[in-house]
Each structure stands twice: as structure tokens, then as C-alpha cells.
Structure 1
Amino acid sequence: MATQYEIRGTNAKEISASVERGVADGSLPPGSALPPVRALAERLGVSPGTVAASYKELRGRGIVLTRGRGGTVVAEAPAVASRRPPKVPAGLRDLAGGHPDPVFLPDAAPSVWVSPGARSHRASPRLPRLEELTRAWYERDGVPSGDVTFAHSALDCVARLLSVELRPGDAVAMEDPGYHHLLDLVSALGLRSVPVAVDDEGIRPDALRAAVRAGVRAVICGPRSQNPYGGCFSAQRRDALVEVLAEAPDVLVIENDHAAEIAGVPLHSLTAGGLTRWAQVRTVTKYLGTDLRWAAMACDAVTLARHDGRLLLTSGWVSHALQETVVSLLTDPAAQDLVRQANAAYTLRRRTLLDELARHGIAAHGASGLNVWVPVRDEAAVVNGLRSSGWWVAAGARFRLAAGPGVRVTAAELPPSEAGRFAADFAAALGERQATYGG
């Protein structure tokens, strides 16, 4: 569509900024056609090369795209629901959801006292007792705890960080395969995902180096319990990644340690490597209660100020009643005993599943956490084959950017006594090509 918005500027930077302002305020909605390079150059009294340079910058940041003879147009708004999981068919065992086993979750949170009256907690958003527990939690694992804060969930925290640090079109290094909600979030914020390959030790240094040199502004990664692959940083991998990140001290590194207490492995965090800009986010939903929408974040001082400044302008604080509940569960011996039981059980279930799949010649990955990733050639064939045997697993498409196909199996809800039958059914779904499919 043609546009009446008047683009201004005398150099490439000013022209790009003018277009971006038009996009931001709605004067240039998605699909709006920008003037041809020579026409705009003539109108502004600049060289065609100057306009071409501004359009190139805008394309690189995802704000516009070129459609050949269709010219340059404003990019469409990102889709935000393209990776939603399908509904679990009735009568199937659900091994697709990534959920914890309810048997290891506390039956009910202890009663908490709710402050009376109508008043704001903006002046004291964090309960001192919970802040104290949070600092000790991080310090136990070697994460610097000088600056900590709270959010409503890991995704809430990451969204706030990205929105205050980056602009639409900026690039973010994302694990591939990676957590589908994070992939959706980056897209919804108008940012570009740069895929970074992972293995059993987490993101690969060579892939991260390529992303850093391509100009990413942020990196989001899981130091353990990587979802869906299950990778976890070793000390050697952590050191290699810190060396890569030293090339770009202004890049914000966000670690999502979402299953800290039930990962089954120790933490080797990038945050202990002297990074300039960093944050580590933790939640309790996987082992204290799926409805406990609370997250903790340790970070550098600049990141803290930017995060809390935006939080102050929006929700203001995390409910003190919720914080009291988290304190109660973190200090309740029975709840903490369940967490220890869960950690041991999930480790056993994951390893048993891997061993049973290996007995059938099926290679799989799951060094930590709740899930196992199985590379396959045809995701739909495997999902449908297992469905016919009564199992429901997650097709890998919604977790992938450029990685090869696979399926995710949530081992947390598969007792060892059933792992052998599941592995046999998996092999049957692969048929005669099981070794090729599983490799």
C-alpha cells in the first residue's frame, strides 16, 4: 500500500530513524511500501547510496523487507501463537508437556498472612526474608548475589529485560533447539532469533562465536536442564563460552536456570566468569507448584536498575502474599524433602529412559532436567506411531529454528517400570529404520 508518511533525514542514520519512528507510532503500518531508493534520494537531496544504506540497516533489524519488484515494505507484525502445542488426545499417556510429576509437588502451600488495607508496596517491593533466602540460594551455586530482584515468572523477567535493552529488529542468540515460549517471545517483541546449536554440554562455542560476530545484542541460554535437549554446561564448556563472550562485553547474557533444584547436575554458570552484562533467572514452578508465578533474578547493577525501573512503571511489585508463600515453602522441611525426592526420581527416570532407548539402538539426549530429545527423520511418523501405542510425545518442530527434526519426551512422568515398554514402542514406531531414525 502507498503511504503518506513523510520520511526525513540527510544521512542514512537519520533516514532509518525517521522510518522507525513512523513504524513505532503507527504511521507506517505493516505492509506499507517505502519509496523507491532513487525517488526518495531525489526528494531528500541525498545520494541513492545513502538511502540504500538506510534501507539495508532497516532490513538487517527486521523492520522492513524487500519483495523484489514489489519494492521495500514494512515487515508484518510477528506471530505470537505459532508454536502452541496441540491438545493431548483423550486416552493417551501425556509425555509431551514438560510438566513435573504431581506426586512430588506439595499438596498445599502453608497459610500466609496478607497485609490488611489498601496500600502500595512500591517502596519495599521485596520481602527481606525472601531476599535473604534468594541471595543464599544463588551464593550456594557460585552465582554473584550482590544484586537480586523478583519477577512474576521467568518469561515475565526475560520479556522485561529484552524490552528495556533491545529495539525491534535487534538480534538475539537463541538455543536451537530451544524453549518454544522463549522463541515466541523474541518474535513477539519484534526481535530476530539467531540460532545457536546445542549439544549435551549446552550451547556450542563455535556457534555462539558466529552469533556474536554477526552482531547479536543478547544471548539466552540454559546452563542446565536445557529445554528440550537436556544439555548442561561442564566447567570446561562454561570457560570456553566465557572466552567467546569476552569478545563482546556489551552483549547481555541471560541464563534461564528454570529447574535449578531438580536438574540432577551441579551448576557451572557463565555468571561466575566476570561478564559485564548478565542475569540469571530462576523459578520454583517445576518443584514447588505450577501456579507459583514467582521468579528470582541475580544480575549486574545496570541490569537491575533497568529491570526494576520498568517493573515500577508496570505491576510495581510481586504480590507480598505470593512472596510469603514462597518463603513458607522454601523453609518447610516437608516441602524441601519432596524437592530432594523429586531430584533423585527425575534423574533415575531420565537415565533409565536413555538406557532403554539405547538398548534398541536409538540415540537420545538428556544430560539433565526433565526431558529427553530423540533425533528422528520424520517427526509426524514417530508421533503418530507412538500415538497408536497409547503414548503422546511432542513433535520437535515448535522447538526448532535450523536444527534437525526430533521429538521431546518428558521423562519426569515416566516411571522406570514403564520405560522399557515405551522404548520398545518407540522402536516399533521407527520400524526397520530405527537405527537411522534414532541417529
Structure 2
Amino acid sequence: MATQYSISGTTAKGIAASVERAVADGGLEPGDALPPVRRLADELTVSPGTVATAYKELRRRGLVVTRGRGGTVVAAAPAVASRRPPKVPDGLIDLAGGHPDPAFLPDLPRLVTPSTGPRSHRSTPRLPELERRVRAWFDADGVPSGAVTFAHGALDCIARLLTTELRPGDAVAMEDPGYHHLLDLLQAMGLRTIAVAVDDEGMRPQALREALRAGARAVVYSPRAQNPYGGCFSGRRRDELVEVLRQTPEVLVIENDHAAEIAGSALNTLTDGGLSRWAQVRTVTKYLGTDLRWAAAACDPVTLARHDGRLLLTSGWVSHLLQAAVLTLLDDPSAQLLVRRAEDAYRERRGEVVKELGQRGIAAHAASGMNVWVPVRDESAVVNGLRTRGWWVAAGARFRMAAPPGVRITVAGLEPAAAARLASDFADVLGESEATYGG
């Protein structure tokens, strides 16, 4: 707790640095309360204004949050810490990682030879052959492909898009529950998140409308294979969301279609709805290879120019060797056959889990993608109970802002025959939990 760590410093910068060191070293943990402003000021013999300035800087950078009368506490995922999932205990079946089944990942090309001879990567940052292939990829799903670019993965692309538009303290409308790495990224960037509730059809229009009224300057969402809830936009939901977003043309809309080829559902994209500022981001990590840190984005011309201008000033370009590997796999018949098999297998596996849970009276959500979201009352009881039965699932806390509790089950590697045993164990754990804590 904060009382066990001595904060030091005589200036706002020094006090903030002391707290940051404590968070990084583990002296202060998520949820630990910092001393009240006046008390700390007295202890350090500085003015209350100096401590207040230090706390303000820590809030801006996402290290602490203020809870009204609850005081100032260390954030759940402070920006100086890496909120990695706990290591999977030996002997357990891992259903928590969110990873694809390796059996459906193609072998990476043994030898990829990009064009030889002198070439300017900065003047030609994208391989023309891959750019043409990407345009066709977007066109096939109705995403406007007039302006496309590449990045070092989806998170890299989204971060760059946001940094060109927003400043620390600005708000971003985010799915709730949502992808935990994105939530952590925004906090590390000093951006505020406004929770937007989701259901099986994705973001709820009224919740998005309220987030925009609350000042969100950007919206980030997944149109299908939403992680962790599994929702996918229906045609009706797509139209409703476009209507909401048209009322705020200055807001940047980022569509994260991270599992496009294995989502198991058609794309109902918002990007063709006449929005002013938008981008659709795709990657291949989930179905061509986890080491292929590459993403493509289609966007409006202004967004493209801002993204590429920032890219030029940092890494400059995405490795041509990496681009050549992606192009090879996108056009390789055997690799594409594996992708199609993966999509079918993931559809069957999540369907079996949802069916088996449903037969035991347990509601679950998995309209698309590789994950199943199961609402529960006590996440810890369920996670620990399943652990004793040989299963390792993800507690929902790291995905949630205001959403009710739940657990995420990654079913990508779960054979259909095992679904009944998992569901039976899940039902037993829920029964034990209710017996212990009351139904």
C-alpha cells in the first residue's frame, strides 16, 4: 500500500518521478491509494499546489486515477507497467491467450527475395505488388481502397492514427468489454476512454451517441470478431451506427478488422457510409503467422497523409522483406486453404462451446471470431475453479471498464469433442460458487 512506500521530492516533477519509480518497481500496485494532497505536502514540506500539480501530471499520463472521495489511486494498468497475462500453470489447457491454433498457420516462406539493387525505401515504402493485392482485398469487402498504407501491426497503426489527431487528455470511445491491449495503449498515451456497451451486434448505437456527446474525439471498434465479446455488425446495426457518426463529422473513426479472414461472418463496414474521417485496419497475425507484424489500412486522404507523414519521421517504412513474405502467403494456394479451414474450424468450435454451455443453462456470447464471452458473477471463483479442473481461462477484468463481470474462453485450439467436458466443469464451478457465496 501507499503507506508502505515513501514518496519523495521537492518539486512537482520530482514527486511525480518518485511515484512512477514506485509503480515501475512494484512498490505501488494497481489500486493502491496515494496520500491526500495536503498530507503529502506536509510530509514533504512543499505547498499543496506542488503536490496537486504532480498528481495532475500522473493522471495525464495514465499512472493514477481520481475516484472522488475515494482519493487518488494507482491505475489498474499503469503506463509504466506491462500488464501481461499470468503465466499458464503447468499441466493446464490454455484457453486464455487469444491465440490461433498453430495447426492452421502456414509455414513462413523459407526464402523471400525482394527486388535486388539500389532502391529508396522512403520514396517507395510499399511494394507495388502488395499494394495492388491489398486494394483488391479491401475492395472485395466493400471498403473504399483509394488510399491505402502499411504499418507494423494493427496496434502500431492505431497508435499512430491517434497521435496525429489527439492530445493527452482527449477522449476515445471504446468498446466495453474491449481489447485489453488497446485499453492499455490509450492509457499509456494519456488518452481518456469512454466506455461504449456492446452486444452480439457490436457497439450499441445509443451508447455510442452518449460517448460522442461526452466529448469523444475518436472511436475505435471491431466490426466482427470483437474481442472479447465476439460481436459482429449486422446490416441494421451498421446503418444505425453510421447515422450516429454522421452527426459528428470531425470525429476520427477507426475500424479494427483484425481477424478479417477467420471471423466467420460477413463484413458490414462503416467505412463506405460517407464518413469524413475514417480508417479500416487489417492485419494477418491471427491467420498467417504471429510473427508477421504487418498491417494494412484503408483511409480517407487526410488521414492517410497524416499517418504516412508521422511514419516517415519515425521508422520510415515497413520492411520490404516482411512485405514480400506477406505477399507470398496472401497468394499461396496452400496457405489460403489453411485460412479457410481455420475459419470453418473456429466457427464449429465456438458453436460447440456455446451449445454445450446453453444446454446447462449458461448464457454465452460468440457471434464471430475465436473467443467466447461468458457472463459470471465472480470472475476469480470461476477462473480458480476451472483451474482446479485443468482449464485456464481469462478473467474479464482486464477487458472491462463499466461492463458486468465475465470470463473469456479462447476456443481456437479446443477440439469440439472437449466442449462438453469444459461446459460440464463450468457448470460445476458455477454451482460451487453459488453454494459458497449465495445464488
- TM-score, with structure 1 as normaliser: 0.83
C-alpha displacement at 1:111, in angstroms? 2.0
Decide whether the 8 Å contact of 2:100 with 2:370 is kept in 1.
yes
Is 1:336 the counterpart of 2:326 in the alignment? no
Residue 388 of structure 1 aligns with which residue?
388
In structure 1, what is the Cα distance between the partners aligned to 2:239 and 2:383? 38
Distance 1:27 1:251 in 2: 36
Counterpart residue number, 2:352: 352
In structure 2, C-alpha distance between the alignment counterparts of 1:412 and 1:27, rounded to whole Å: 47
Q: 1:161 corresponds to which letter in structure 2? A: L
Task: Among all aligned residue pairs of Structure 1 and Structure 2, give the percentage whose two residues are the same amino acid.
Answer: 71
Describe the shift of the 1:67–1:430 C-alpha distance in structure 2 as closer, same or farther (beyond 3 A): closer
Name the CA distance, whole Å, in 2 between partners of 1:67 and 1:279.
34
List aligned pairs for 1:419-430, cutoff 5 A: 419-430=419-430
Q: How does 1:180-191 map to 2 (within 5 A)?
A: 180-191=180-191
* 1:38-437 correspondence to structure 2 within 5 Å: 62=60, 78-81=78-81, 83-116=83-116, 120-431=120-431
Residue 246 of structure 1 deviates from its aligned partner by: 1.2
Aligned residue pairs, count: 392
Contact in 2 for aligned 1:217/1:251 (Cα 8 Å): yes
What is the rounded CA distance, in whole Å, between the counterparts of 2:247 and 2:101 in structure 1?
42
User: What CA RMSD, in Å, does the superposition of the two structures yield over aligned residues?
Assistant: 3.1
**Mapped contact 2:381–2:433 kept (Cα < 8 A):** no
Which residue does the alignment assign to 1:15? none
How far apart in 2 are the matches of 1:137 and 1:243?
26
The letter for the 1-side match of 2:427 is: A
Amino acid in structure 1 at the alignment position of 2:354:
L
Q: Aligned equivalents of 1:66 and 1:290: distance in 2?
A: 37
Given that residues 205 and 244 in structure 1 are in contact (C-alpha distance below 8 angstroms), is that contact kept between their aligned partners in structure 2? yes
Q: Deviations over 1:80-134 (max 9, x none)?
A: 5364211111110000001110000012325211455776400000011100110
Q: Deviations over 1:251-280 (max 9, x none)?
A: 000011000000000000110111000000
Per-residue deviation, 1:30: 6.6
Q: For the residues of structure 2 that align with 1:273 and 1:348, how far apart are their CA atoms?
A: 32
Q: Find the counterpart in structure 2 of residue 45 from structure 1.
A: none
Q: Distance in 2 between matches of 1:341 and 1:292?
A: 20
What amino acid sits opposite 1:396 in the alignment? Answer: G
Question: What's the offset of the Cα at 1:167?
Answer: 0.3
Shift of 1:411: 1.1
> What SS does the corresponding residue of 1:307 show, helix, strand or coil?
helix
CA contact (8 A) 2:288 2:335 kept: yes
**Alpha-carbon contact 1:380-1:395 (below 8 Å) kept:** yes
- Deviation of 1:431 after TM superposition, in Å, equals 1.0
Q: Which residue of 1 aligns with 2:34?
A: none
2:27: which partner in 1? none
Q: Distance in 2 between matches of 1:434 and 1:341?
A: 40
Check the 8 A contact 1:288/1:335 in 2, yes or no. Answer: yes
Query: Gaps (5+ residues) in structure 1?
Result: 5-25, 37-54
Deviations 1:210-246 (A, max 9, x none): 0000110100000000000000000100110111111
Letter in 2 for 1:242: V
C-alpha contact (below 8 Å) 1:233/1:268 kept by paired residues? yes
Amino acid across the alignment from 1:285: T
Name the SS of the counterpart of 2:216 in structure 1: coil
Label 1:272 to 1:431 Cα distance change in 2 as closer, same or farther (>3 A). same
Task: Give the whole-Å Cα distance in 2 for the aligned partners of 1:426 and 1:349.
Answer: 16
Q: CA deviation at 1:323?
A: 0.5
Post-superposition Cα deviations, 1:275-331, rounded to whole Å, max 9, x if no partner, equal 000000000011100100110000000000000000000110000011110110011
Q: CA shift at 1:137, angstroms?
A: 0.5
How far 1:79 moved relative to its partner? 2.4
Gap change, CA 1:2 and 1:140, over 3 Å in 2? same
